[in-house]
Amino acid sequence: MHASSLLVTSLLSASANAHVFIWGVFVNGVDQGLFKGVRTPAYNNGPGAGGYANSPVKDLDSIDLRCNVLGDIQAPDTIKVKPGDHLTLDWHHDWRNDTDDVIASSHHGPSLIYLTPDPPTENSFVKIWEEGLYESLPFPKPGKWSTTSNIAKNFGHMNMRIPVDLKAGFYLIRAEMIAFHEGEVSYKMNPRRGAQFYPNCVQIEVVGDGTVELPKGVSFPGAYSYDGPGVVYDVYCSTETKKTRTTPCTTTYPIPGPTVWSGAWAETTAVPLSPVTGGTTATPWSTWIVNSVVTSASYTDKKSITVVGSSTYKAGWSSTYQTPSPATKRW
């Protein structure tokens, strides 16, 4: 049973208990609407305070590393863009406004953006932007990381541009933030710790008469490995958190994955943004997934949950483009 066919009862209440994910996209400064084109991650670990939307992906061999939990399920709409357009990906934690903390202040790490044809194929993800540790200071003075000192300090805004003369077609933007507050060991060595990956995908259609095709890229999963650069890292060497040490701190950081494509824009500056549209709070999901079992439920209130049904879920990425249905319900 596919998650999109599950019976889901929407809730009109306060925001979901969540880690960071994309709540909206601005095109040339104009907001496209709450969750428009965004493959919003599902709850995992159950409903209410016991579960999180977009809990981190830590298993580098999981298909969830591609677009997060249930990331193969399409959003019902796609954002139209042109080569050269400025896009601002609007990341948030609890609600979509400038009072939101965006991501926990301890979640230092890099930010990255990939572009792939939709649907992805083997080695189709091309890196078009990255930012990591961009100011390193002697311990214990804090360094500056992309997730906390740039994205969070700028109200969740991650800036990118559609490559010059990019060929028309359907694409996925795969954006991610990586948090290293538990990243001094690998998830493979200690599943209770490990770097936390927050990937999220946005559906776009590039229009125009461009002729440039994306080059060969990388695969997700597959692009990162536990013994590769930038995956295991003691972030507290570059923050003001004091810690007893027996070895010197590393003050440089290699961002994981491939190099940025030469066809990407060298600069992705911020642009003035319109007010957001379509609301600023998320409707809590009444569907969640635990150990590949998707459960749907109806709620009277937080203390009254009636399970409607459950089924085993297996990601079903199509090998050919499928037009999204406007009636699609993700969860």
pLDDT at 1 over 80: no
pLDDT tens, residue by residue, 148-189: 999 999 999 999 999 999 999 999 999 999 999 999 999 999
pLDDT at 15 over 50: no
Higher pLDDT, 266 or 302: 266
- Check: pTM over 0.75? Answer yes or no: yes
Q: How far apart are CA 48 and CA 32, in angstroms?
A: 28
Higher pLDDT, 146 or 250: 146
pLDDT band at 328 (very low <50, low <70, confident <90, very high): low
The pLDDT, as a whole number, for residue 3 is 37
- HEC per residue, the chain: CCHHHCCCCCCCCCCCCECCEEEEEEECCEECCCCCCECCCCEECCCHHHCEECCCECCCCCCHHHHCCCCCCCCCCCEEECCCCEEEEEEECCCCCCCCCCCCCCCCCCEEEEEEECCCCCCCEEEEEEECEEECCCCCCCCEEHHHHHHCCCCCEEEEECCCCECCEEEEEEEEEEECCCCCCCCCCCCCCCCEEEEEEEEEEECCCCCECCCCCECCCCCCCCCCCCCCCCHHHCCCCCCCCCCCCCCCCCCCCCCCCCCCCCCCCCCCCCCCCCCCCCCCCCEEEECCEEEEEEEEECCEEEEEEEEECCCCCCCCCCCCCCCCCCC
What sign does the dihedral 103-34-175-120 (CA atoms) show? positive
pLDDT at 245 over 70: no
pLDDT band at 140 (very low <50, low <70, confident <90, very high): low
Work out the average pLDDT over 17-33: 90
Work out the average pLDDT over 249-260: 91
User: Quick count: other Cβ atoms within 10 Å of Cβ 298?
Assistant: 15
Q: How many CA atoms within 13 Å lie on the side-chain side of 113? A: 25
Residues 6 or more apart in contact with residue 182 via CB below 8 angstroms = 193, 194, 195, 196
The pLDDT, as a whole number, for residue 287 is 76
The pLDDT, as a whole number, for residue 52 is 59
Q: How far apart are CA 207 and CA 227, in angstroms?
A: 40
The pLDDT, as a whole number, for residue 325 is 87
Q: Which domains does the chain have, with CATH numbers?
A: 16-283 (2.70.50.70)
The pLDDT, as a whole number, for residue 147 is 97
> One-letter amino acid identity for 308?
V
The pLDDT, as a whole number, for residue 2 is 41
